[in-house]
């Protein structure tokens, strides 16, 4: 049997500068507290794919999320971003096996016990503020033998959770950890979010909810609980005096260090040896 080498040119999609710095932080851990729709899931799909493209046959790469429906979002998006012929998706196992033999798994953190046992070479924990603590512990063990890198991303959600504590540790300068905050204004400035849409959310949502979801500012858990007991129309709790004016309207894309190319090689048994159809395995911002 002949084994031909196949070469695929990978073109990194355009990230905005803060998004790139957060996700492609060189440190082993990057903890990212971010606004909703700031582009954390999309960018981490790209990051994990790049790690897997550098991987070897049989190596495992994990995407974990609080429940399987959330992991499926990334599973679907990653498949849609890859050209046909460069991967095989297993719809029951929720895996994508790349042409180089690396396997990307999309898992639920619902049952921590099911996460023990594997050696994982790179990992993303999505929606970390909603991810169970014991599942985080299990996930961390899978990176022990490999010393694999991890991106931990989520909205801010109160202070009494492991993600908040880890973010504070990263923020206070743990040498192995990067800490990043992406707020709605960053995504607006990059042209990813629309300023008017953010203002509408600010108008409609309770102030503390808006601050967590769009400004990545944690509310006090006690305050959150008592506020939720005081039910009432959201608009009444949205005080104009607390509005911020820092949301810009620029639509220009900040490209930063994005767009660089890298080439990934892989040995594909019995492949035609031709160049892969579609020059860009990651086709950018779909879904």
Ligand X SMILES: Nc1ncnc2c1ncn2[C@@H]1O[C@H](COP(=O)(O)OP(=O)(O)OP(=O)(O)O)[C@@H](O)[C@H]1O
Residues near Mg ion (CB under 5 A): 41
Q: Which does 183 bind (CB under 5 to 8 A by kind): Mg ion, ligand X, none?
A: none
SS (H, E, C) 30-63: EEEEECCCCCHHHHHHHHHHHHHHCCCCCCEEEE
237: nearest Cα among 249, 228, 247: 228
81 makes contact with ligand X (CB under 6 A): no
Q: Which of 6, 8, 18, 19 binds ligand X (CB under 6 A)?
A: 19
Pick 39 or 149: Cβ nearer Mg ion: 39
H or E element at residue 235: helix 234-237
CA distance 268 to 286: 27
Residues 132-171 that bind ligand X (CB under 6 A): 155
282: nearest Cα among 23, 39, 14, 6: 14
CA distance 196 to 200: 6
48 makes contact with ligand X (CB under 6 A): no
Q: Which of 78, 96, 98, 192 binds ligand X (CB under 6 A)?
A: 192
- Residues paired with 60 in a beta bridge: 103, 120
16 makes contact with ligand X (CB under 6 A): yes
Residues 256-285 that bind ligand X (CB under 6 A): 285
Cβ 136 to Mg ion shortest distance, Å = 17
Tell me which residue has its CB nearest to ligand X.
Answer: 39
Pick 6 or 211: Cβ nearer ligand X: 211
Pick 96 or 190: Cβ nearer ligand X: 190
Pick 213 or 268: Cβ nearer ligand X: 213
H or E element at residue 89: strand 87-90
Cβ 231 to Mg ion shortest distance, Å = 28
Cβ 34 to Mg ion shortest distance, Å = 9
Q: Which residue has the tokens 């039910």?
A: 231
Pick 6 or 151: Cβ nearer ligand X: 151
Check: CB of residue 227 under 8 Å from CB of residue 60: no
Pick 188 or 213: Cβ nearer Mg ion: 213
H or E element at residue 9: strand 3-11
254 makes contact with ligand X (CB under 6 A): no
What Å distances lie between residue 189 and 14, 34, 111, 184, CA to CA?
14, 15, 39, 9
217 makes contact with ligand X (CB under 6 A): no
Contact segment (CB under 6 A) with ligand X among 30-38, 48-56, 81-89, 130-138 equals 30-38
What dihedral angle (degrees, nearest 10) is formed by the CA atoms of 79, 85, 86, 90?
50
Q: Which of 22, 23, 32, 38 binds ligand X (CB under 6 A)?
A: 38
Residues engaged in binding ligand X (CB under 6 A): 14-16, 19, 34, 36-42, 155, 192, 285
């Amino acid at each position: 049997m002949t084994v031909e080498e196949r070469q695929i040119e990978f073109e990194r999609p355009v990230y905005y500068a803060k998004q790139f710095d957060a996700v492609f932080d060189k440190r082993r851990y990057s903890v990212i507290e971010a606004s909703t729709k700031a582009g954390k899931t999309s960018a981490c799909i790209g990051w994990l794919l790049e790690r897997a493209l550098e991987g070897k046959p049989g190596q495992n790469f994990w995407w974990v999320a609080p429940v399987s429906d959330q992991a499926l979002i990334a599973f679907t998006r990653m498949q849609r971003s890859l050209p046909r012929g460069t991967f095989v998706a297993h719809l029951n196992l929720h895996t994508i096996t790349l042409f180089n033999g690396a396997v990307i798994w999309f898992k639920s953190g619902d049952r921590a016990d099911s996460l023990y046992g594997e050696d994982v070479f790179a990992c993303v924990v999505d929606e970390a503020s909603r991810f169970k603590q014991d599942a985080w512990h299990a996930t961390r063990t899978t990176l022990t033998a490999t010393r694999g890198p991890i991106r931990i991303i989520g909205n801010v959600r109160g202070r009494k959770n492991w993600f908040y504590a880890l973010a504070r540790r990263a923020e206070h300068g743990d040498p192995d950890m990067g800490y990043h905050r992406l707020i709605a204004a960053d995504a607006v400035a990059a042209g990813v979010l629309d300023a008017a849409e953010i203002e509408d959310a600010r108008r409609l949502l309770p102030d503390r909810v808006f601050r967590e979801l769009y400004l990545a500012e944690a509310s006090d858990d006690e305050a959150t609980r008592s506020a939720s007991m005081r039910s009432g129309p959201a608009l009444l709790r949205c005080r104009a005096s607390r509005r911020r004016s820092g949301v810009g309207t620029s639509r220009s894309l900040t490209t930063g260090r994005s767009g660089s190319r890298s080439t990934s090689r892989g040995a594909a048994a019995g492949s035609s040896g031709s160049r892969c159809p579609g020059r860009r395995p990651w086709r950018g911002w779909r879904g």
